[in-house]
Structure 1
Amino acid sequence: MRVLLLSVLIASTAACTWVPIESGGKTVRVLPNGPVAPGCVAKGEIVVSVKNKVAFYNRNPLRVQEELETLARNEAPSAGANAVQATGQPADGSQRFSAWQCPPR
């Protein structure tokens, strides 16, 4: 019974998104890797982290990456930025992003 309950709990947390997008984060763009568009001004760096493991279970790496991106988008307005760009790959549930203020598209 305990094994079944634990299995259900792990399966349900694998599909969960624990990080909701905030209203300010909805307007923040995620820039692709590579050169930043002309006219964008660097506003600093954002470092975010989420749980990448639950007990002995490793969470889906794609889900972790989505949540890290969402957290970075949520933080960008407080840095005066309207765009973020990953500066590296996620590692141990943490990721760095550069924050940018870019002209409207």
Structure 2
Amino acid sequence: MANARLPLLAAAALLLAACGNSWVQVTPEGERVSLATAADVGNCRRIGAANVNALDSIAFVDRGANRLQEELVNLARNEAGAAGGNRVVPESTIEEGRQTFGIYQC
């Protein structure tokens, strides 16, 4: 009976570990992009938008808001870097793991 629980416990441990690690790595282009506020980009040129999404839950387990926000920002930074931008500004709140960012060149 104890051996039957081992795969379940191993799966649960992997699930918890996955919830704690960021799955989104910042690309070299994204490294040159920073998160800003609307006030920070007043003299910058808006060059587009990044509509990004990440999993907000895994197997019915909600992921932490901070981890989700970090992944969305990293995704937006990557998109902005690929588009030639160097700043991203959140333009919406997180809804079901989705968020929109403005891409700016300053």
Percent sequence identity over aligned pairs = 32
What TM-score results when the alignment is normalised by the length of structure 1? 0.86
Which position in structure 1 is the counterpart of 2:30?
25
For the aligned residue pairs, the C-alpha RMSD in angstroms reads 1.4
Count of aligned pairs: 101
CA positional deviation for 1:91: 1.1
CA positional deviation for 1:3: 4.1
CA distance in 1 between counterparts of 2:44 and 2:99 reads 21
Q: Would you identify which runs of 4 or more consecutive aligned residues in structure 1 move more than 4 Å?
A: none
SS of 1:88's equivalent in the other structure is coil
For structure 2, which runs of at least 5 residues remain unmatched after alignment? none
1:42-66 Cα shifts (integer Å, max 9, x gaps): 1111100111111111111110110
CA distance in 1 between counterparts of 2:34 and 2:16 reads 31
Q: Pick the structure with greater CA Rg.
A: 2
SS of 1:65's equivalent in the other structure is helix
CA distance in 2 between counterparts of 1:51 and 1:83 reads 24
More helix by share: 2
